[in-house]
Structure 1
Amino acid sequence: MQVSVENTSALERRMTIGVPAERIETEVNKRLQQTARRAKIPGFRPGKVPMSVIRQRYEDAARQEALSDLIQATFYEAVVEQKLNPAGAPAVEPKVFEKGKDLEYVATFEVFPEFQVSGFDGIAVERQQAEVTAADVDNMLEILRKQNTRFENVERDALNGDQLNIDFVGKVDGEVFAGGSAKGTQLVLGSGRMIPGFEDGLVGAKAGEERVLNLTFPAEYQNLELAGKAAEFTVTVNSISEPKLPELNDDFFALFGIKEGGLEGFRAEVGKNMERELRQAIKSKVKNQVMDGLLAVNPIEVPKALIGNEVNRLRVQAVQQFGGNIKPDQLPAELFEEQAKRRVVLGLIVAEVVKHFELKPNEDRVRELIQEMASAYQEPEQVVAWYYKNDQQLNEVRSVVLEEQVVDTVLQKAKVTDKQVSYEEAVKPAEAPQAA
């Protein structure tokens, strides 16, 4: 077999492969002999058909099959011989494809980039430090109470924060417009759910009252047909309910699975959850900075084939997440290309860090992470056991731990500064999260 390789770009290779005619004929004859043993042809007993008849009937098909298999086999042999690492399937172009002659074809493909990770000392990371205070727990208790607010009917004028049950009809230029009418809608005044002026216009209304609101849709309104237009809404207030926050009692604690310990027990459980959230938030922000830094100090070119594969994966994820009667390939590739490229580049860089430093998942850290995740459940022991009985889930945790070890490896050489912040600031998502 003869092989020659041409570098047509930084990552693209054009490989010409020649396969001797003798090897082709050997493969063709092998397939014809297999066919002869099972061929059923009128006038001949099975296995007794003359080879001349077999060749006459089946040689073309056997040759096509042999050539297809030989191209796959010889391509693999060639890349191993040339020590190449293809990043995708090759595009094959036959040059000589005739009976009795050597097979010659050209395979064009991309290879994985060869690089060494470096520049860790040029990565700057700000690591936030925070603690959960008693005031933070108090604030969280109020948030939980508000999330479980119930509304009770009242006989008074509506105030901001009240929930109104309303019917309304909206018109533009005297005509009812699509989506502008509803009956029995629950609306909390001050929630900002409706266009500017709608909720303010209902403050002070009474149950049974009808109000006409003359408003203007915002210029940047999502429905371009209505953006900037004047509208008239006729609103009937059916009922008014005021918010009632639940008491911090056993009934409230039971909503969160806390049946013992009273207020102190509930505060302790909330505090533990907040501590867990705080650790994860700080860890996530540090990881994002490390990944951004690795990208910045290790610019590499990546195969288009890998980006294309990742785009397709993101398309499928988008369809699964948002549903709808749409096929993944109907979503424009441009929507996902930047994210796909980032993920591919980071994947290659992280893999190279793992390889260079010979990292393996630390099984103690794997168990610690599983136990921490399990602690959020009522029966953590069962959750831990479930992970260790499911290889796929366990390997996903190992991958997370391995990424954490990559981050730790980079932090050993990066420029790390610690910054004391409040709990609220620490758990607040970064403005532009860049998770790998």
Structure 2
Amino acid sequence: MSLPVSIVGAPFLGDPAFRRVIAAIEMDGDRARVVGGAVRNTLIGVPVDDVDIATTARPEVVAARATAAGLKAVPTGIAHGTVTIVSSGRPFEVTTLRTDLETNGRHAVVAFTRDWAGDAGRRDFTMNAIYADADGSLHDPVGGIADALAGRVRFIGDPVERIEEDYLRILRFFRFHARYGRVELDKRGLEAAVGLQEGIGQLSRERIGAEMRKLVTAVGAEPALTVMDRTGILAKILPGGGVLARFSTTIDLALRHDLPFGLEARLAALAVDRQGLAGALRLSGREDKRVETIVQWGGELAARMDEATVRLVVVRAGNEVASAALVLAAAEQGCDPKANLVQIARDFRPPESPVTAARLMAEGYVPGPGLGAELRRREAAWIAAGCPDKFNGGV
């Protein structure tokens, strides 16, 4: 079977915003090629999110040419050769071809080059080192096309060397396999990742958290995390243990019942130690609060898994939290949630509550703890009654 030599017709190639960036860069003998995700995803039929560009032009030259062409140039990583060019309101990350002069497992000292093969050799996986000219012609110096089409995540060259350049590549190896892998984990890559896992301790929690967010939401997250757990790698990242069984069960239940199960829900399924998880992955305040809410309501549902309690969660926290809390509770109980509870969590849209503070004050209640307690009591009665449009107030 012959491999493709072009991605001509890819929508991003005809994008006027992209064409203006390429036209601005390709002057005085310099070349610019798309590299990485946009090329890989086009080849395998996955939507393209970002278009990254590699070029022989030095970063200061890229910035000057972009500005002269009326485009905005932002020096987002100038020391490493990266300039973000904004065209028609969209960012294009443009990076000068590089070779590594020095690496320490976290960051690299680079030198700029005009050698495309040398630039490819310093990247992580073969499927991320496929280049495309503006006309769609492909350049594949490390055999990435075959790997991308096969769903094979393979390090470029020696996996040990690639990981020692940046230990985050251990997590990227599992994340890319969870997202794109369709064959077994590459044995050489896995052996290197397991053997070098102590290097994860050198990474910042911010970088680890960013990578883990992408990993846990990938379609193949569960089997990838299972391997990480079995080999001890997951323990280097997450506090506590024994979370994979619950994570696997919640994912299965959510898929089986067509329930929404996004990032915070997946993190909640991993949160044996919620505060530890927040610190380990540097969760934002919003993310941590959402995880805490799901865990707390999951506990409520584990104690009382009935229609009134599910409706209560929907009213207080919304359908997504109710759905996540329901499958979390079911996983804890080792049961399959009943269809009526699933339907309420997923689809119930409660009407505006007739129980209000203004109504209670009209009855003679005064602002304070007593009013709040009565408001909660009547709201609970309204929810238990099925959230009817008309309600006598629970008196």
The TM tier, using the shorter chain, reads under 0.3
Work out which structure has the larger RCO, using CA pairs closer than 8 Å and 6 or more positions apart in sequence.
Answer: 1
- Please, what TM-score do these two structures have when normalized by structure 1? 0.18
Name the structure where helix makes up a greater proportion of residues.
2
Instruction: Give the TM-score normalised by the residue count of structure 2.
Output: 0.20
